[in-house]
């Protein structure tokens, strides 16, 4: 029987007139959910049995609706929860830099406000079509699904083959969009466990109170809603593999229980005293620096050492040389075939620009760029004029501080500056430095206010206050 359920759509905007209008216009074709802020959207996602297939996100969200920071962070939050989700940004903050950065973070498309509902519907259905193609394509067994020949990728393949049959835990580290779940799945498929169960839990995509019963199971009456005994992932996985994505999000109190399972296989269902045993292999993944999380007291060092018996670094695309061109060819043909359109091609200048671009959003960004180019320029030969607007050249290449500075000591720099400036104003200078460092921290953390505050050595509320104050002074 055909599935007649409408595709699910999450709309996040703090303007009720916009959410009401869009809900009314789109409800015939989509199962619409509405949220007015990033915290509410994240909370809503964690309560749902399955994540929405699509999302429409405004960049200007509370508590700072005149800046794109919350919207940028929400894109990252939604993709951490559901990597398969297709996100369209619908925003009035539609300057080119915001559009490019939103796409770098993983948004499939950027749509400036106002937008005709019929046009928006077509864009959403188009994104849904490509999402379905990606999911069906991901299920096809390929001899070598890791595309590329670079030394970085060859090292990754070697580690996968070396560690696949081991019973010990493995920890995968890598930036968002690099394909850590694909690597974990390959470890499972290449091992003797390939005929055994595979279970995956995204620790960022589930409410903290649900992590323990999901992993360990529970007994009837253990908590409100526990109407029957239920096994957890450790029990269901048997001799198979349990993949824990975004392990850095695991609450501290549960880290101790996970450590116990890793050390001796013992666990208990919630509400039960009986000891149970697991033989599942645990593979964990993170885009955080867990060593830094340990220093901040957010991650147990003993758990880290237990998980990192084997550590696999999934390389960012910028370290993969000409692999980005091989990926271009692969996705160019794949999406053209799915859309039943002739593939685009690049002239020599465009190919060089493609090869030189650092792709801060990694494979996810590359894939989304190919989708947009396939849609807009089917069958055409493109130059740098068409492809460079897709590139986010303002996002830093690495996560180091790398801020330019004049040579010499601070006093020497100040002396030179005072000699050059006749109308020097200390307050203006301090304000400029403060604004510069705040904007630098926001760029380095890709709009994550919490991480930017930590980088600047202040708390989140202080950073919000200073950003609002600077905005008023402009």
Is the model's pLDDT at 457 over the cut of 90? Answer: no
Going by DSSP bridges, is the β-strand pair 170-173/281-286 parallel, antiparallel, or unpaired?
parallel
pTM given for the model: 0.70
Task: Give the pLDDT of residue 440.
Answer: 81
344-364 pLDDT, tens digit each: 999 999 999 999 998 988 999
Same domain, 383 and 449: no
Residue 131 near residue 7, CB atoms below 8 Å? no
| Any domain includes 276 | yes
Same domain, 303 and 191: yes
Task: Give the pLDDT of residue 207.
Answer: 78
- The counts of H helices and E strands in the chain are 20, 14
Residue 55 near residue 4, CB atoms below 8 Å? no
Same domain, 296 and 157: yes
Which of 314, 348, 373 represents a domain boundary (last residue)? 314
Q: What is the CATH number of the domain that holds 246?
A: 3.40.50.300
| Any domain includes 395 | no
Residue 139 near residue 189, CB atoms below 8 Å? no
| Any domain includes 351 | yes
Confidence of residue 21 (pLDDT cuts 50, 70, 90): very high
The percentage of residues in the chain with a pLDDT greater than 90, rounded to a whole number, is 48
72-128 pLDDT, tens digit each: 989 988 888 888 899 999 888 767 788 888 888 889 989 888 888 888 999 999 889
Is the model's pLDDT at 463 over the cut of 90? Answer: no
Confidence of residue 28 (pLDDT cuts 50, 70, 90): very high
Residue 105 near residue 446, CB atoms below 8 Å? yes
Q: What is the CATH number of the domain that holds 80?
A: 3.40.50.2300
Token look-up 């993944």 returns 285
Which of 290, 314, 338 represents a domain boundary (last residue)? 314
Same domain, 86 and 223: no
* CA–CA dist 227, 299 (Å, integer): 33
SS3 at position 84:
coil
Q: Rounded to an integer, what is the distance from CA 384 to the centroid of its chain?
A: 28
* CA–CA dist 71, 333 (Å, integer): 32
Same domain, 57 and 177: no
Task: Give the pLDDT of residue 414.
Answer: 65
| Any domain includes 239 | yes
Same domain, 63 and 125: yes
Average pLDDT, integer, range 459-474: 76
| Any domain includes 282 | yes
Radius of gyration (Cα) for the chain, nearest Å? Answer: 24
Token look-up 């000591």 returns 409
Is the model's pLDDT at 276 over the cut of 90? Answer: yes
In the chain, the number of structural domains is 4
Average pLDDT, integer, range 203-229: 87
Is the model's pLDDT at 214 over the cut of 70? Answer: yes
Confidence of residue 140 (pLDDT cuts 50, 70, 90): very low
| Any domain includes 399 | no
Same domain, 304 and 157: yes
Q: What is the CATH number of the domain that holds 439?
A: 1.10.10.60
Task: Give the pLDDT of residue 404.
Answer: 35
Confidence of residue 2 (pLDDT cuts 50, 70, 90): very low
Task: Give the pLDDT of residue 407.
Answer: 35
Same domain, 166 and 309: yes
SS3 at position 259:
helix
**Mean of all residue pLDDT scores within the chain:** 85
* CA–CA dist 113, 14 (Å, integer): 14
| Bridge partners, 91 (sequence order) | 112
404-425 pLDDT, tens digit each: 333 334 555 566 556 555 567 7
Mean pLDDT lowest among 16-30, 86-100, 315-329: 86-100
Beta-carbon contacts of 12 under 8 Å, excluding residues fewer than 6 positions away, are 34, 35, 36, 37, 38, 41, 55, 56, 57, 58, 61, 74
Same domain, 303 and 330: no
306's enclosing H/E stretch is: helix 301-307
Which of 337, 356, 390 represents a domain boundary (last residue)? 390
* CA–CA dist 455, 361 (Å, integer): 21
| Any domain includes 50 | yes
30-70 pLDDT, tens digit each: 999 999 999 999 889 888 888 899 999 999 998 888 888 88
DSSP 59-79: S--TT-TTSSHHHHHHHHHHH
The percentage of residues in the chain with a pLDDT greater than 70, rounded to a whole number, is 90
Task: Give the pLDDT of residue 421.
Answer: 59
Same domain, 344 and 310: no
Is the model's pLDDT at 139 over the cut of 80? Answer: no
* CA–CA dist 469, 64 (Å, integer): 11
Give the structural domain span for 288.
Answer: 151-314
The closest alpha carbon to 86, from 116, 110, 114, belongs to 110
CA angle, residues 445, 446, 449, in degrees to nearest 5: 65
| Any domain includes 202 | yes
155-194 pLDDT, tens digit each: 999 999 999 999 999 999 998 889 898 999 999 999 988 8
Mean pLDDT lowest among 57-71, 396-410, 431-445: 396-410
281-312 pLDDT, tens digit each: 999 999 888 988 898 899 999 999 999 989 99
* CA–CA dist 202, 216 (Å, integer): 15
Beta-carbon contacts of 232 under 8 Å, excluding residues fewer than 6 positions away, are 213, 214, 215, 216, 217, 218, 267, 269
Token look-up 């809900």 returns 23
Q: What count of other Cβ atoms lies within 10 Å of the Cβ of residue 412?
A: 11
Same domain, 300 and 367: no
Task: Give the pLDDT of residue 417.
Answer: 58
Tokens of 300: 């147990």
Same domain, 122 and 174: no
Token look-up 């859309």 returns 339
């Amino acid at each position: 029987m055909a599935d007649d359920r409408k595709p699910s759509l999450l709309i996040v905007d703090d303007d009720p007139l916009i959410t009401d209008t869009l809900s009314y216009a789109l409800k015939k074709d989509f199962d619409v959910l509405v949220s007015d802020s990033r915290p509410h959207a994240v909370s809503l996602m964690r309560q749902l049995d399955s994540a929405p297939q699509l999302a429409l996100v405004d960049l200007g969200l509370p508590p700072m609706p005149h800046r794109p920071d919350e919207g940028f962070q929400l894109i990252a939050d939604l993709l951490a929860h559901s990597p398969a989700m297709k996100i369209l940004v619908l925003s009035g903050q539609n300057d080119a830099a915001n559009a490019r950065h939103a796409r770098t973070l993983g948004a499939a498309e950027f749509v400036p406000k106002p937008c005709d509902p019929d046009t928006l519907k077509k864009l959403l259905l188009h994104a849904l079509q490509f999402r379905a193609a990606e999911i069906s394509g991901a299920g096809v067994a390929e001899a070598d699904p890791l595309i590329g020949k670079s030394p970085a990728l060859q090292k990754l393949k070697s580690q996968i083959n070396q560690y696949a049959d081991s019973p010990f835990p493995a920890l995968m580290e890598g930036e968002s969009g690099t394909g850590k779940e694909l690597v974990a799945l390959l470890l499972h498929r290449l091992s003797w466990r390939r005929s055994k169960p595979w279970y995956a839990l995204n620790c960022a995509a589930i409410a903290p109170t649900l992590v323990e019963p999901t992993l360990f199971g529970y007994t009837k009456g253990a908590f409100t809603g526990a109407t029957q005994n239920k096994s957890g992932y450790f029990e269901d996985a048997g001799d198979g593999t349990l993949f824990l994505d975004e392990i850095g999000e695991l609450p501290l109190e549960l880290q101790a229980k996970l450590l116990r399972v890793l050390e001796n296989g013992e666990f208990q269902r919630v509400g039960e005293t009986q000891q149970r045993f697991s033989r599942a292999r645990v593979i964990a993944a993170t885009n955080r620096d867990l060593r830094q999380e340990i220093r901040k007291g957010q991650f147990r060092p003993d758990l880290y050492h237990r998980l990192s018996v084997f550590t696999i670094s999934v390389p960012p695309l910028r370290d993969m040389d000409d692999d980005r061109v091989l990926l271009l060819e692969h996705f160019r043909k794949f999406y053209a075939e799915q859309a039943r359109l002739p593939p685009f091609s690049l002239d020599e200048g465009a190919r060089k620009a493609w090869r030189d671009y650092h792709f801060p959003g990694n494979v996810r960004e590359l894939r989304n760029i190919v989708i947009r180019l396939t849609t807009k320029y089917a069958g055409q030969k493109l130059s740098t004029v068409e492809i460079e607007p897709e590139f986010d050249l303002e996002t830093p290449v690495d996560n180091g501080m790398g801020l330019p500075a004049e040579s010499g000591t601070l006093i020497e720099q100040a002396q030179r500056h005072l000699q050059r400036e006749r109308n020097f104003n200390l307050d203006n200078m301090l304000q400029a430095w403060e604004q510069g460092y705040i904007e630098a921290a926001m760029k380095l953390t890709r709009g994550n206010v919490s991480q930017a505050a930590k980088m600047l050595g202040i708390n989140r509320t202080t950073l919000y206050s200073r950003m609002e104050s600077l905005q008023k002074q402009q």
